[in-house]
Amino acid sequence: MSRDPRYDILFEPVKIGPVTAKNRFYQVPHCNGMGHRYPSSTAAMRRTKAEGGWAVICTEECEIHPKTDVSPHAEERLWDDSDISHLARMTDAVHEYGSLAGIELVYQGHETANRYSREVPMAVSSLIGSNLDPVQAYAMDKSDIRDVLRWHREAAVRAKQAGFDIVYCYAGHNLSLPMHFMSRRYNNRTDEYGGSLENRVRFFRQMIEETKEAVGDTCAVAVRLAVDELLGPDGITAAEEGREIVEMLAELPDLWDVNISNWANDSETSRFGEEGAQEKYISFVKGLTTKPVVGVGRFTSPDTMVSQIKRGVLDMIGAARPSIADPFLPNKIESGDLDSIRECIGCNICVSGDNLMTPMRCTQNPTMGEEWRRGWHPEKIPGKKSDSQVLVIGSGPAGLECTRALGLRGYDVTLAEAKTELGGRVANECRLPGLGAWGRVRDYRTSQIQTMTNVEIYLDSKLEPGHVEEMAADHVVLATGAHWVQNGIGRANTRPIPGSDGAQVFTPDDIIAGASPTGPVVVFDDDHYYMGGVIAEELRGRGLEVTLLTPASEASSWTHNTLEQERIQTRLLNMGIKIVTCQNLTGIHSDHVELACVYTEQRTSLPAASIVMVTMRLPDDTLYQALSGAGNVTRIGDALAPATIAHAVYAGHRYARELDEPANDGVSFKRELSRLGEF
């Protein structure tokens, strides 16, 4: 295969100040839950992207001083010279493949609680952060402003010493001090740094100028700016101040990296936004500057990328999540291997890693975060270690990934699926409102498997124990999935809810299968991820009166970690779905349900002709129980312990990687041990 000439423009070099990017693929800064805490893991992850063809690869946020401490989040640090060496590990890895390394220097102002350093927070004005820490920031005086500019300049010099090619001045979200200076919402100053927009931009201008003076001879200086906060007149907008800021600073930086704020808007999930959704906000920038412009939009289609460039929207294709889902996306476009691209599904499970302060994972790419820990590569897998034949039963995300990876290793694999289509839970869930892009989990794997001559697929094949024994496979993998329980057992209830065995009680499986409950419907969400919300949407879309009932204080509360909770609750309310919070479901009757306050246990009731239980799932392990005496049978994914689709894909991949490899009953991955200090 060779590159389609239509995509030649994507592989043109781009000059960025004193450096040149080898093509137009630009991995913008993105958090990953590793940072300074796991430097080897971070470096290996970025190295893999360089190997995959990304011309520019940037760090996550990088603290510049103890007063910029964002603990417990694991971002990068350049507090002093002792931080240079671990960052140099990343730049060396990136340079190995001819890519440029960028670093995003950040100070979050009043959002910085300094939990580890215990320094006193400071900000553009006297403010309190949104992180609910019971501390406030004092208003910076001019000596504080000079200090911050000096810290930034010194961090830029250290970045240059660490080998970085691009140094950022960051105002990309509302979690940045320069944005706080520019924002009328935060800047209450009456000196030359407050009042008019020109005054409010002064701090950011000085930061850019001092950074260029310090490192601009060999390093490009990039600006990341949120040109619209999506707050209308209460915030910066692309139509007014966002445009004016770009006009004021148009030729000052070497590159413009433009986006929208806040993070939930910038990294909007596929449930709420399409590929390229930011174009309408950032398309004006290229008309105001001669410097290259990069922007993001969850780009996975090379045709969309080419369109962005040819229409003068962007000079470089920015990506965070698509580079996580497929670190080799540029190389695959260059080689013409488009069918092997793992397209990002926009689920934001990667984002949850940073929000939960743990190394990120990816639904599409099970090797993400395991490049150093386990030595996993997204495009390379060791060959088989035996001539064993493997039977995989179930074609959900675990079974499909297990089959794909085993097939790549060279094993003879038989995949048996009880239903008429492949995909398991993914095939079902991608039919629910907003989850269509999740079908890519199935589509990528089925397209790969169908080209493998060593893999046989059997649909409509519900295997019984006797069938499994007759097939005499050396290894049997049960990826039979799980089902939602009807009895209401979950987090809030450890015993069946009285009345849950009634004919008016349904599960998400029933709704997906086409069951038709009558209204009013109560959706009892004790799962707290996405399912309760999408089932409520589905039923409301059928014209039913719907109430979402949850013991939590808000709808879909875990989705704060995927940056979706506010959007989900807003959509439900706008659809006319009633949300009842902090209430447990305690009883079900023919025309109503009984509730109990989770705090006071005060009893109330709601009218309900039908109830949908979204509480927990149980493994479909009947076949496993019948075969449990056989030593060659293994359960994976939801068939072992129901979890996210990302967990299932990872489980399938891990089984395939570890088949016929030496057993390890201890820690099966490398650990990063911090240097022990003196007592």
Task: List the domain boundaries for the chain.
Answer: 5-355, 389-481+620-658, 484-618
Q: Show the DSSP H helices in 250-362 as ranges.
A: 263-266, 279-282, 302-310, 321-325, 329-335, 349-355
- Report the pLDDT value the prediction gives residue 2, as an integer from 0 to 100: 86
DSSP letters along 336-381, please?
T-GGG--------HHHHHHHTTS----SS-TTTT-TTTT---SS--
Q: How remote is the C-alpha of 363 from its chain's centroid?
A: 9
- Report the pLDDT value the prediction gives residue 131, as an integer from 0 to 100: 81
Q: What distance in Å separates the CA atoms of residue 483 and residue 619, rounded to the nearest whole number?
A: 6
Of the pLDDT bands very low, low, confident and very high (cuts 50, 70, 90), residue 679 is very low
Q: What distance in Å separates the CA atoms of residue 399 and residue 478, rounded to the nearest whole number?
A: 8
**The one catalytic residue among 26, 30, 31, 653:** 31
Q: How many CA atoms lie within 13 A of 44 on its CB side?
A: 20
399's enclosing H/E stretch is helix 397-409
Q: How far apart are the first and last CA of the chain?
A: 60
Q: How far, CA to CA in Å, does 611 sit from each of 420, 513, 605?
A: 29, 16, 13
Q: What distance in Å separates the CA atoms of residue 636 and residue 390, rounded to the nearest whole number?
A: 14
Q: How remote is the C-alpha of 594 from its chain's centroid?
A: 38
- Report the pLDDT value the prediction gives residue 129, as an integer from 0 to 100: 85
- Report the pLDDT value the prediction gives residue 664, as an integer from 0 to 100: 79
Q: What distance in Å separates the CA atoms of residue 541 and residue 556, rounded to the nearest whole number?
A: 18
**The one catalytic residue among 38, 170, 281, 411:** 170
Q: Tell me, yes or no, if 257 is annotated catalytic.
A: no
**The one catalytic residue among 73, 86, 173, 653:** 173
Q: Tell me, yes or no, if 315 is annotated catalytic.
A: no
Q: Show the DSSP H helices in 10-83 as ranges.
A: 39-51
Give the model confidence (pLDDT) of 103-140 as tens digits: 999 999 999 999 999 999 999 999 988 888 899 999 99
3-state secondary structure (DSSP) of residue 423: coil
**Helix 565-574 / helix 531-541 crossing angle, nearest 10 deg:** 20
Of the pLDDT bands very low, low, confident and very high (cuts 50, 70, 90), residue 619 is very high
- Quick one: fold of 484-618? FAD/NAD(P)-binding domain (3.50.50)
Q: Tell me, yes or no, if 350 is annotated catalytic.
A: no
Q: How far, CA to CA in Å, does 635 sit from each of 402, 467, 484, 656?
A: 11, 17, 18, 13
Q: What distance in Å separates the CA atoms of residue 265 and residue 476, rounded to the nearest whole number?
A: 44
Is the bond into 72 cis (omega within 30 degrees of 0)?
Answer: yes
Q: Find tokens 């990136």 and name the residue.
A: 94
- Report the pLDDT value the prediction gives residue 674, as an integer from 0 to 100: 56
Q: What distance in Å separates the CA atoms of residue 634 and residue 441, rounded to the nearest whole number?
A: 22
Of the pLDDT bands very low, low, confident and very high (cuts 50, 70, 90), residue 352 is very high
Residue 547's beta-bridge partner residues?
A: 522, 578
Task: Report yes or no: 58 and 168 within 8 Å, Cβ to Cβ.
Answer: yes
**The one catalytic residue among 165, 257, 266, 315:** 266
Mean pLDDT of 583-592: 96
Of the options 1.20.140.10, 3.20.20.70, 3.40.50.720, 3.30.420.40, the CATH number for the domain spanning 5-355: 3.20.20.70
Task: Report yes or no: 34 and 360 within 8 Å, Cβ to Cβ.
Answer: yes
Does residue 57 register a pLDDT over 80? yes
Does residue 665 register a pLDDT over 90? no
- Report the pLDDT value the prediction gives residue 175, as an integer from 0 to 100: 84
3-state secondary structure (DSSP) of residue 258: strand
Nearest to 340 by CA among 443, 457, 455: 443
Nearest to 28 by CA among 282, 229, 238, 245: 282
Q: How far, CA to CA in Å, does 351 sit from each of 105, 188, 267?
A: 20, 33, 9
Task: Report yes or no: 33 and 353 within 8 Å, Cβ to Cβ.
Answer: yes
Does residue 99 register a pLDDT over 90? yes
Q: Tell me, yes or no, if 8 is annotated catalytic.
A: no
- Quick one: fold of 389-481+620-658? Rossmann fold (3.40.50)
Q: What is the pTM of this model?
A: 0.95
Q: What distance in Å separates the CA atoms of residue 447 and residue 253, rounded to the nearest whole number?
A: 44
Give the model confidence (pLDDT) of 42-51 as tens digits: 999 999 999 9
- Report the pLDDT value the prediction gives residue 678, as an integer from 0 to 100: 44
In this chain, the answer to whether the domains covering 389-481+620-658 and 484-618 adopt an identical fold is: no
For residue 280, what are the contacts with CB-CB under 8 A and spacing of at least 6? Answer: none
Q: What distance in Å separates the CA atoms of residue 434 and residue 432, rounded to the nearest whole number?
A: 6
Per-residue DSSP letter, 122: E
Does residue 242 register a pLDDT over 70? yes
